[in-house]
């Protein structure tokens, strides 16, 4: 999970990109980066840290130009070193900088192709650098001094043929414009919008519509799966379907957890979809325990609040805020390392005793991945004097690894894998474990966009829509990216890209 943004404007874009990245910060808290373009020169700054830590006034002053791209990341494929921070840059052809959200599933094969056939060196472990070099190679094959929009679309078509997985990409080509595109399944989100100024129209592409809202851009539409958009430096816009076979299968986890509630993704209002998730949970409570004894429903801040409120309303049960969140602690399930996650839970949430004491409490969370947070929260509720502690998840049980850009690759770290719902409840210490049904979750989204034909539900049902995932692949990424592997990789972290605020020319 990462956040990307690209802008073509009539004046300097550094501040607008900064603002967009701050509202996409929930998509990645490990590193941030920005590349701007003025005439035929790039200016870059990227480093580990939050957006407001990476970009200081001295850096912003150097980020000149009326077009540029930005990125926030957490480590999925690649380490958490600053060497992996995006955007990545190549100087041939033209000069291209690229940022990417998602994960390629044939990276190993592509690396070999790059080395043996295309004679290109990949300097990091990031699949984003692989994707950049493929795009650069395909553009170079066209062999034109001045590429047209059609030439760029031809290169994107070749990228789609070579790459598999889930990806949303934005790239800036020195002196020409910005190109953005989405994988043929539309697994990861991408939207574009425009705003009117005295000098003419300006354009933005971004992971979520909220990035457009913050800077006064009006959402035009989602980029379709397999589609590419090219915005020239002069502000001319072209779009083209670049995949031979494209069908929208958005990631269900985007709506459950990843996206901000004030975003609209693939015509689905995320806030409304989460309201419907709460209604479905309430209906399941009534089906399974019509004579339930729930005294109070308490959300686990923040993502589950919308679902919990609707659940309480439809059950006629009190809704209370039982936990106060420290907003300066990051999202725990994406933290690198079980020890770090466990230590962060108590620092992140503090319970209010009067909301728990002598009550039967239903805790509601958006999902349960590793179970670290859930187990400690149940313990907190009991310590506060709860008579019984029930636990509801607005998502179905996460039983399978994600391979399309969310950091849950190791099946051994998923608490629900190989366990029944009751066994998960026992493991986290809950008296009753309630999961959302997968069909109910899909219905919540179809109510917002009935034209959808399917979803990426792989973390729930183990069905990988790209068709290239087998047990050997899952074992390989488990070995490469489980907690013990991450712990070892951090020892070799370098800081070679920590201060790339100098001009690249």
**Binding site membership: which residues?**
303, 365-366
365 bridge partner residues: 393
* β-pair type (503-504, 227-232): unpaired
DSSP label at 217? P
As to burial, measured by CB atoms within 10 angstroms (0-12 exposed, 13-18 middle, 19+ buried), residue 391 is buried
Dist. CA 208–CA 187, nearest whole Å:
13
Q: For this structure, is 2 an active site residue? A: yes
Residue 449 CB-half CA count within 13 A: 19
- Ordered alpha helix ranges (H), 385-502: 421-428, 438-446, 458-461, 471-481, 483-489
DSSP type of residue 400: S
| All residues at 6 or more sequence positions from 101 whose CB lies less than 8 Å from its CB, including other chains | 1, 2, 3, 4, 27, 167, 168, 169, 188, 190, 207, 405
CA 435 – CA 285 distance, rounded (Å) = 10
Within the chain, what is the greatest distance between any pair of CA atoms? 75
Numbered residues of the known binding site for Mg(2+): 303, 365-366
Query: Which two structure tokens, joined as six digits, stand for 270?
Result: 């995320």
Catalytic residue from among 2, 163, 251, 444: 2
Question: In whole angstroms, what is the distance from residue 324 CA to residue 327 CA?
Answer: 9
Task: Round to whole Å and give the CA distance between 200 and 231.
Answer: 14
Place of tokens 């391979």: 403
d(CA 166, CA 361): 39
Do the Cβ atoms of 127 and 101 come closer than 8 Å?
no
128 vs 87: CA distance, rounded Å: 9
Two structure tokens written together for 57? 């006034």
Give the closest residue to 179 by CA, choosing from 199, 196, 159: 159
Buried b / exposed e along 72-97 (16+ C-beta atoms within 10 A):
bbbbbbbbbbbbbbbbbbbeebbbbb
Catalytic machinery residues:
2
């Amino acid at each position: 999970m990462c956040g990307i943004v690209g802008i073509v404007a009539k004046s300097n874009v550094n501040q607008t990109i900064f603002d967009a990245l701050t509202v996409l910060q929930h998509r990645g808290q490990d590193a941030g980066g920005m590349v701007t373009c003025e005439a035929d020169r790039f200016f870059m700054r990227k480093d580990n840290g939050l957006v407001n830590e990476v970009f200081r006034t001295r850096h912003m002053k150097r980020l000149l130009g009326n077009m540029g791209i930005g990125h926030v990341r957490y480590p999925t494929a690649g380490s958490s070193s600053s060497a992996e921070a995006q955007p990545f840059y190549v100087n041939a052809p033209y000069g291209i900088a690229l940022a990417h959200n998602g994960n390629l599933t044939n990276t190993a094969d592509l690396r070999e192709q790059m080395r043996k056939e295309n004679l290109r060196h990949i300097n990091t472990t990031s699949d984003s650098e692989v994707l950049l070099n493929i795009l650069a190679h395909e553009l170079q094959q066209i062999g034109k001094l001045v590429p047209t929009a059609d030439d760029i679309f031809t290169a994107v078509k070749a990228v789609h043929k070579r790459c598999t997985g889930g990806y949303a990409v934005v790239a800036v080509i020195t002196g020409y414009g910005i190109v953005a595109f989405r994988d043929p399944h539309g697994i990861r989100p991408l939207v574009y919008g425009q705003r009117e100024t005295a000098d003419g129209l300006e354009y933005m592409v971004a992971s979520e519509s909220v990035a457009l809202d913050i800077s006064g851009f009006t959402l035009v539409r989602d980029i379709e799966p397999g589609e590419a958009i090219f915005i020239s430096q002069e502000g001319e816009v072209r779009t083209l379907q670049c995949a031979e076979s494209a069908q929208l299968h958005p990631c269900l986890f985007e709506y459950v957890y990843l996206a901000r509630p004030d975003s609209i993704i693939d015509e689905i209002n995320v806030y409304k979809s989460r309201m419907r998730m709460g209604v479905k949970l309430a209906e399941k409570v009534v089906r399974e325990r019509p004579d339930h004894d729930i005294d109070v429903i308490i959300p686990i801040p923040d993502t589950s609040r919308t679902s919990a409120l609707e659940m309480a309303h439809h059950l006629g049960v009190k809704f209370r805020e039982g936990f106060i969140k420290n907003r300066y602690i990051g999202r725990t399930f994406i933290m690198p390392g079980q020890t770090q996650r466990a230590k962060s839970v108590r620092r992140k949430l503090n319970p209010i005793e009067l909301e728990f004491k002598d009550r039967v409490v239903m805790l509601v969370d958006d999902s349960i991945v590793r179970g670290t947070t859930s187990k400690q929260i149940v313990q907190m509720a009991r310590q506060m004097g709860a008579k019984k502690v029930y636990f509801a998840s607005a998502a179905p049980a996460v039983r399978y690894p994600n391979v399309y850009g969310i950091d849950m690759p190791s099946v051994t770290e998923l608490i629900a894998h190989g366990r029944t719902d009751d066994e998960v409840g026992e493991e986290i210490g809950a008296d009753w474990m309630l999961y959302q049904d997968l069909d109910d979750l899909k219905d919540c989204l179809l109510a917002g966009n009935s034209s959808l034909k399917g979803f990426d539900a792989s973390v729930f049902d183990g069905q990988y829509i790209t068709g290239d995932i087998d047990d050997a692949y899952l074992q390989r990424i488990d070995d490469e990216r489980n907690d013990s592997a991450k712990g070892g990789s951090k020892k070799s972290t370098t800081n070679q890209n920590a201060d790339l605020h100098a001009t690249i020319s």
